């Protein structure tokens, strides 16, 4: 695992659910989700003002939230400043972190998952719905749509024994308190949706979910784990668990007048 591998894997990581529209242009990628429109990356030699106007036009008539991700690879270098001049606000900062995956024994030694937390697969429609509700509460976003739940349920049903993508639920005293997902892509274990209810934080649920997913990645032959962690919550936990930071990604947002 080297820096360029990690940064390329991070750049390639875009979530496209079945009910989204995805458009890859020469100088940006635009995804229209049921609840928002996102510029996933942009690298343009055109005046950014022209690109912003083009994106706004394409997003008109959709949900009124337009997001624009800015990373170390974004061009022009002053994209964030120009977005702010056009009314965008910084709403989220995540750290790109990665960790080599060697053995499950090394993993457990580094993460020390607590015994009071029980981690189980979320592989039925009811459990996937529950995981989605936890995500929605923690991240303040919409719960999974019926199409998204159906896709996850179908995937889980096809590969229950050794899935390449899936979710786990964390239980404290037999009550679900956390949820997290993973996806195997080209030998990289992508970790996403790590959420723990506020009432259960500080008990090790996040670490337990992290250990379970990384162990699954090792069993599937992943070379390294990749995650985009919020700077104020999960990123410090991830660094303590042996993850290395490879930079930040920032999300700027604007509400459109449709």
pLDDT per position as a tens digit, 209-242: 999 999 999 999 999 999 999 888 889 999 999 9
pLDDT at 124: 87
Query: What distance lies between CA 230 and its chain's CA centroid?
Result: 10
Q: Per-residue confidence at 140, pLDDT binned at 50, 70, 90?
A: confident
Identify the DSSP state of 199.
Answer: G
Q: How confident is the model at residue 258 (pLDDT cuts 50, 70, 90)?
A: low
CA atoms within 13 A on the CB side of 236: 3
The region of weakest confidence among 7-11, 138-142, 243-247 is 138-142
The yes-or-no verdict on residue 139 having pLDDT over 90 is no
* Contact criterion met (CB below 8 Å) for 160 and 205: no
Is the model's pLDDT at 146 over the cut of 70?
yes
In this prediction, residue 154 has a pLDDT band, given cuts at 50, 70 and 90, of: confident
| 161 pLDDT more than 70 | no
On average, the pLDDT of the chain sits at: 91
Residue 159 has pLDDT above 70, yes or no: no
Q: Is the pLDDT of residue 141 over 90?
A: no
Query: Is the per-residue pLDDT at 243 higher than 80?
Result: yes
- Say yes or no to pLDDT of 158 above 70: no
Question: pTM of the full predicted structure?
Answer: 0.86
Cα end-to-end distance, the chain, whole Å? 45
Least confident of 49-63, 142-156, 179-193, 237-251: 142-156
Residue 125 pLDDT level (bands cut at 50, 70, 90): confident
Q: Which residues contact 74 (CB under 8 A, 6 or more apart)?
A: 41, 42, 43, 80
Q: Of the candidates 178, 200, 165, 195, which has an alpha carbon nearest to the alpha carbon of residue 120? A: 178
Please give the pLDDT value at position 49: 97
- Residue-wise pLDDT for 193-212, tens only, equals 899 999 999 999 999 999 99
Which domains does the chain possess?
A: 3-96+249-255 (3.40.630.30), 102-222 (3.40.630.30)
The answer, yes or no, to whether residue 184 has pLDDT greater than 80, is: yes
């Amino acid at each position: 695992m080297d820096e360029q591998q990690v940064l390329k894997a991070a750049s390639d990581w875009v979530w496209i659910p079945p009910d989204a529209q995805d458009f890859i242009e020469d100088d940006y990628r635009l995804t229209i989700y049921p609840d928002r429109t996102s510029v996933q990356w942009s690298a343009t030699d055109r005046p950014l003002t022209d690109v912003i106007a083009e994106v706004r036009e394409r997003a008109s008539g959709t949900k009124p939230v337009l997001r624009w991700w800015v990373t170390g690879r974004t061009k022009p270098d002053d994209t964030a400043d120009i977005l702010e001049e056009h009314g965008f606000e910084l709403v989220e900062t995540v750290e790109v972190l990665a960790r080599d995956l060697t053995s499950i024994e090394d993993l457990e030694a580094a993460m020390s998952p607590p015994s009071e937390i029980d981690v189980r697969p979320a592989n039925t429609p009811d459990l996937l719905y529950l995981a989605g509700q936890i995500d929605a509460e923690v991240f303040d976003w919409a719960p999974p749509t019926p199409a998204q739940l159906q896709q996850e349920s179908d995937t889980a049903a096809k590969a229950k024994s050794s899935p390449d993508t899936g979710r786990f639920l964390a239980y404290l005293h037999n009550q679900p308190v956390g949820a997290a997902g993973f996806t195997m892509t080209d030998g990289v274990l992508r970790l996403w949706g790590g959420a723990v209810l506020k009432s259960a934080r500080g008990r090790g649920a996040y670490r337990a979910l992290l250990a379970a997913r990384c162990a699954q990645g090792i069993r599937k032959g992943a070379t390294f784990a990749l995650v985009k962690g919020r700077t104020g919550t999960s990123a410090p936990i991830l660094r303590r668990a042996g993850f290395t930071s490879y930079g930040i990604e920032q999300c700027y947002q604007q509400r459109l007048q449709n």
